[in-house]
């Protein structure tokens, strides 16, 4: 019989105590697992969606709003900017690429994004069916959109005005699905992509039909607008001067996604600190409970342990036996905690419909989760230290003669 | 086998206990007699190398116990000593066979299931190997505890008050079993007891001053002197 096997048997000789301790420790670890998962998935989702975009240029307003609306597609955009002004950025030697983004319409809640072919290229997403658009009014669907709406290549639909569900339909300008993207886990999964000219086409017809007081005729091409542009630099050094140049000398605003996302994570971090403190309290309670359980186990089994000394087991071996019992509790609690944490994560993703916003989901095993078993073993070993020490020094014969 | 001279032990803050000398050959039986508090337990603890002696000489199975370090003492005890406590202390969480297996674990020796089976069978409780201690009768439990004491084939078996809670018939049977088992495994047997029936058993079995039975009387005054 090995020390591990023996400790296992002793743990389960008090099943209720063992189950309660594993549960308590497991719940503490589950909340830590959950926090780690949320943090790592948020960061991963943000990093993926930034996809090498150095700066976003759009209308003046909140820089974070610009990033949230144009890169992460969570918020509405601050306003429109002139397409001509955005296109002119290409002449700047610091700028390698300018990708226009035009928002404003949706289909069943999924954003229709007018852009250039460089946008899907930026994310390196391939097609699962059909092809990319080559003319206006053709759309390519993100994988989630295609799956949830059951749309396939060749089908048509008409967009609605605004970014949420809206009754104001552009019925006279239907879109045709020409391709569907492979799932990539990025923001593209939940977007409907089309050529930027489609948006102009839809809205120019729209304005003609409605005959608005200030839009009695189609916009001339030089007045065309986009919501923003995603910009990649030729050199990282551009980050020093380009945004300031935009912000001070033009009517546009430049916002660096990396900077804004860091700010956002920091703001979220204040909230998770409270949760982290709560999880630490849970762990402390669990540690105390394991301590009490082992302490009582040692008291109950003092004579049994003394007999092991009589059989020739050195004190260190007795102490190791008790530490191993704690180790088992920690190990079981780790497994339970990790599984429960993943389950919480799945439940959260399901309940909040996060799949449609930030692509949070369970079943990810980031390296940070190694913290969970480390904590479990640390807490249980710490809790076992004093009882083990008590077992280490016991008066063998007195205990054996007590009755 | 067991040889002592001018053996002394002292509890902290108390006058030392002096023990009469003994010289017991291998395979013999030593009765350690005396009323409660006469130092029987202390003598057992000394012979088991659980506590260090204060002065004198104590040799068990050819080993000068004063020469052993604490770690060596544990290893020596695992190899050379079997112990039958008065309260049997069978672990309730483990089966009979697993309780015996504890001896291998404690001695850091590879588990030997065949030997466990053989010793249990020799003591007539082979069929109980997979039962829990709570399922055993008193007599069965004592046989199992004795099996645990002789499992490592020790040269010395210490029995602490083996008849204390038994009626006359059961006491007689227990002593027969204890003596017979020690003989079979060639072990020297030390019985610490204040029970007159034990002395009577060995008188009756082997004659007045029987060969192989030695008695060490520990009078009460030694304890009184020690705590004075």
User: In this structure, are A276 and A349 located in the same domain?
Assistant: yes
Q: In angstroms, how far is CA B30 from the centroid of its own chain?
A: 10
Residues of B in Cβ contact (< 8 Å) with A307: 83, 85, 89, 91, 102
**In this predicted model, what pLDDT tens digit does every residue of A209-232 receive, in sequence order?**
554 444 434 455 667 889 999 999
Backbone φ and ψ of A357, nearest 5°? -120, -65
**A135 has a chain B CB within 8 A of its CB:** no
pLDDT at B116: 94
Confirm if A312 and B71 have CB atoms less than 8 A apart.
Answer: no
Mean pLDDT of all residues in A56-69: 89
Q: Which of A255, A290, A317 is the last residue of a domain?
A: A255
Backbone φ and ψ of A234, nearest 5°? -80, -30
**In this predicted model, what pLDDT tens digit does every residue of A259-272 receive, in sequence order?**
888 888 888 776 77
Inter-CA distances, B129 with A2, A11, A218, B143, Å: 19, 22, 96, 12
Residues of B in Cβ contact (< 8 Å) with A12: 93
Task: Quote the tokens at residue B141.
Answer: 């439990």
Residues of A in Cβ contact (< 8 Å) with B107: 311-313
SS3 A130: strand
User: In this structure, are A16 and A128 located in the same domain?
Assistant: no
pLDDT at A28: 86
**Neighbour tally for B6: CB within 10 Å:** 13
Residues of A in Cβ contact (< 8 Å) with B81: 312
User: In this structure, are A245 and A289 located in the same domain?
Assistant: no
Inter-CA distances, A357 with A110, A345, A349, Å: 10, 15, 10
**Does the residue A381 lie in any domain?**
yes
Secondary-structure percent of chain B, ordered helix, strand, coil, rounded to 5: 45, 20, 35
Distance from CA of A339 to the nearest CA of B (A): 30
**Would you say residue A50 has pLDDT above 70?**
yes
**A300 has a chain B CB within 8 A of its CB:** no
**B85 has a chain A CB within 8 A of its CB:** yes
**In this predicted model, what pLDDT tens digit does every residue of A315-350 receive, in sequence order?**
889 889 989 998 999 999 999 999 998 888 888 877
| Cβ contact A397–B48 (<8 Å) | yes
pLDDT at A332: 93
User: In this structure, are A365 and A287 located in the same domain?
Assistant: yes
User: What phi-psi label fits residue A363: left (phi over 0), alpha (psi between -120 and 50 degrees) or beta?
Assistant: left
User: In this structure, are A180 and A71 located in the same domain?
Assistant: yes
| Cβ contact B50–A313 (<8 Å) | no
Distance from CA of B68 to the nearest CA of A (A): 14
Distance from CA of A376 to the nearest CA of B (A): 25
Mean pLDDT of all residues in A220-245: 85
Provide the pairing of β-strand A156-157 with A225-226: unpaired
Residues of A in Cβ contact (< 8 Å) with B94: 9
Task: Quote the tokens at residue B163.
Answer: 């008849």
**Would you say residue A40 has pLDDT above 60?**
yes
Q: Which of A207, A234, A255 is the last residue of a domain?
A: A255
**Does the residue A260 lie in any domain?**
no
Taking the C-alpha atoms of residue A388 and residue A321, their distance in angstroms, rounded to an integer, is 8
Q: Model pTM greater than 0.80?
A: no
Residue entry with tokens 């394991």 = A290
User: In this structure, are A364 and A385 located in the same domain?
Assistant: yes
**A264 has a chain B CB within 8 A of its CB:** no
Percent of chain A with pLDDT over 70: 89
Candidates A279, A136, A256, A248; CA nearest to A202 is A136
Taking the C-alpha atoms of residue B211 and residue B224, their distance in angstroms, rounded to an integer, is 33
Candidates A313, A316, A1, A319; CA nearest to B106 is A313
**Would you say residue A243 has pLDDT above 60?**
yes
Candidates A166, A165, A168, A172; CA nearest to A202 is A172
Task: Quote the tokens at residue B209.
Answer: 């001053």
Task: Quote the tokens at residue A279.
Answer: 């999880």
**Neighbour tally for A349: CB within 10 Å:** 20
Mean pLDDT value across chain A: 83
Picking from A102-116, A141-155, A380-394, which range would have the lowest pLDDT averaged per residue?
A380-394
What are the structural domain ranges in chain B? 2-88+153-227
pLDDT at A360: 55
Distance from CA of A285 to the nearest CA of B (A): 27
What string of pLDDT tens digits covers the 228 residues of chain B? 899 988 888 877 777 888 889 999 888 999 999 887 788 888 998 999 888 888 889 999 889 999 999 889 999 999 999 999 888 889 988 999 999 999 999 999 999 999 999 999 989 999 999 999 999 998 899 999 999 999 999 999 999 988 887 888 888 888 888 998 898 888 999 999 988 888 888 886 554 345 678 888 887 654 444 443
**Does the residue A342 lie in any domain?**
yes
Mean pLDDT of all residues in A234-246: 88
Provide the pairing of β-strand A175-181 with A156-157: antiparallel
**Would you say residue A163 has pLDDT above 80?**
no
pLDDT at A217: 43
Candidates A261, A112, A269; CA nearest to A196 is A112
Confirm if A332 and A352 have CB atoms less than 8 A apart.
Answer: no
CB neighbour list of residue B23: distance below 8 Å, 6 or more residues apart: B2, B3, B4
The residue in chain A having the minimum alpha-carbon distance to the alpha carbon of residue B79 is A312
User: In this structure, are A227 and A372 located in the same domain?
Assistant: no
The residue in chain A having the minimum alpha-carbon distance to the alpha carbon of residue B81 is A311
Nearest to B45 among A1, A397, A402 (CB): A397
The residue in chain A having the minimum alpha-carbon distance to the alpha carbon of residue B45 is A397
pLDDT at B75: 92
Chains A, B: CB contacts within 8 A come to 90
Options 3.30.565.10, 3.10.20.30, 3.90.1580.10, 3.40.50.300; CATH of B2-88+153-227: 3.40.50.300
User: In this structure, are A243 and A302 located in the same domain?
Assistant: no
C-alpha dihedral, B173 to B176 to B178 to B183, nearest 10°:
-160
- List the domain range (segments joined by +) for residue A393: 3-46+265-401
Confirm if B42 and B227 have CB atoms less than 8 A apart.
Answer: no
The residue in chain B having the minimum alpha-carbon distance to the alpha carbon of residue A311 is B78
pLDDT at B118: 93
Taking the C-alpha atoms of residue A357 and residue A269, their distance in angstroms, rounded to an integer, is 19
Residues of A in Cβ contact (< 8 Å) with B87: 303, 400-403
Secondary-structure percent of chain A, ordered helix, strand, coil, rounded to 5: 60, 15, 25
**Would you say residue A353 has pLDDT above 70?**
no
Taking the C-alpha atoms of residue A32 and residue B220, their distance in angstroms, rounded to an integer, is 64
Nearest to A401 among B48, B75, B86 (CB): B86
Confirm if B187 and B154 have CB atoms less than 8 A apart.
Answer: yes
CB neighbour list of residue B84: distance below 8 Å, 6 or more residues apart: B145, B146, B149, B157, B158, B159, B160, B162, B178
Number of folded domains that form chain A: 2
User: In this structure, are A217 and A296 located in the same domain?
Assistant: no
Is the alpha carbon torsion for B106, B110, B116, B119 positive or negative? negative
Backbone φ and ψ of B112, nearest 5°? -130, 90
| Cβ contact A9–B41 (<8 Å) | no
**A16 has a chain B CB within 8 A of its CB:** no
User: In this structure, are A76 and A195 located in the same domain?
Assistant: yes
Outline where chain B has alpha helix (H): 40-47, 70-80, 96-107, 113-122, 138-150, 168-184, 196-206, 220-227
pLDDT at A354: 60
């Amino acid at each position: 019989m090995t020390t591990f096997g023996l400790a296992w048997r002793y743990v389960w000789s008090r099943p209720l105590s063992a189950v309660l301790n594993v549960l308590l420790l497991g719940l503490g670890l589950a909340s830590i697992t959950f926090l780690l998962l949320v943090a790592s998935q948020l960061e991963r989702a943000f990093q993926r969606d930034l996809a090498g975009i150095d700066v976003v240029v759009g209308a003046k307003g909140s820089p974070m709003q610009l990033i949230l609306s144009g890169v992460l597609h969570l918020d509405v955009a601050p306003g429109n900017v002139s397409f001509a002004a955005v296109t002119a950025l290409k002449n700047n030697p610091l700028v390698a690429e300018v990708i226009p983004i035009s928002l404003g319409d949706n289909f069943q809640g999924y954003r229709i994004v007018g852009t250039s072919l460089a946008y899907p290229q930026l994310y390196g997403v391939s097609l699962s069916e059909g092809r990319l658009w080559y003319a206006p009014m053709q759309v390519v669907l993100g994988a989630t959109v295609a799956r949830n709406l059951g749309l396939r290549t060749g089908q048509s639909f008409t967009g609605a005005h605004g970014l949420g569900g809206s009754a104001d339909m552009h019925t006279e300008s239907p879109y045709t699905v020409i391709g569907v993207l492979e799932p990539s886990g990025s923001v593209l999964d939940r977007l409907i992509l089309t050529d930027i000219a489609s948006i102009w086409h839809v809205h120019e017809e729209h304005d003609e039909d409605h005959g608005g007081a200030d839009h009695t005729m189609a916009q001339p091409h030089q007045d065309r607008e986009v919501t923003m542009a995603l910009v990649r630099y030729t050199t990282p050094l551009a980050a020093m001067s380009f945004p300031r140049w935009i912000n001070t000398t033009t009517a546009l605003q430049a916002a660096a996604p990396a900077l804004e996302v860091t700010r956002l994570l920091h703001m979220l971090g204040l909230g998770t600190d409270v949760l982290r403190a709560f999880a630490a309290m849970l762990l402390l309670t669990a540690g105390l409970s394991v301590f009490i359980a082992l302490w009582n186990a040692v008291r109950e089994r003092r004579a049994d342990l003394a007999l092991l000394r009589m059989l020739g087991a050195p004190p260190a071996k007795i102490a190791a036996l008790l530490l191993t019992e704690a180790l088992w509790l920690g190990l079981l609690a780790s497994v339970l905690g990790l599984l429960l944490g993943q389950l919480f994560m799945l439940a959260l993703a399901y309940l909040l419909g996060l799949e449609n916003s930030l692509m949070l989901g369970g079943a990810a095993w980031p390296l940070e989760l190694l913290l969970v078993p480390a904590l479990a073993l640390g807490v249980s070993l710490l809790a076992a230290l004093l009882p083990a020490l008590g077992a280490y020094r016991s008066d063998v014969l007195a205990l054996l003669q007590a009755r | 086998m067991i040889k002592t001279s001018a053996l002394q032990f002292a509890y902290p803050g108390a006058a030392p206990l002096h023990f009469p000398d003994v010289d017991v050959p291998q395979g013999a039986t030593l009765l350690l007699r005396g009323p409660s508090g006469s130092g029987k337990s202390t003598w057992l603890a000394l012979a088991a190398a659980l506590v260090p002696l204060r002065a004198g000489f104590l040799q068990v199975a050819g080993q000068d116990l004063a020469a052993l370090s604490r770690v060596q003492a544990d290893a020596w005890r695992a190899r050379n000593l079997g112990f039958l406590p008065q309260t049997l202390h069978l672990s309730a969480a483990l089966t009979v066979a697993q309780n015996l297996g504890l001896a291998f674990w404690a001695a850091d020796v590879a588990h030997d299931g065949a030997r466990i089976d053989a010793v249990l069978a020799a003591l007539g409780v082979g069929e109980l190997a997979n039962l829990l201690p709570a399922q055993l009768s008193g007599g069965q439990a004592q046989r199992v505890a004795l099996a645990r004491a002789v499992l490592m084939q020790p040269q010395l078996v210490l029995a602490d008050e083996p008849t204390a809670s038994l009626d006359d018939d059961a006491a007689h049977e227990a002593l027969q079993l204890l003596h017979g088992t020690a003989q079979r495994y060639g072990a020297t047997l030390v019985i610490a007891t204040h029970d007159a029936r034990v002395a009577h058993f060995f008188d009756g079995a082997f004659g007045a001053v029987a060969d192989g039975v030695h008695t060490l009387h520990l009078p009460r005054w030694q304890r009184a002197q020690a705590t004075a």
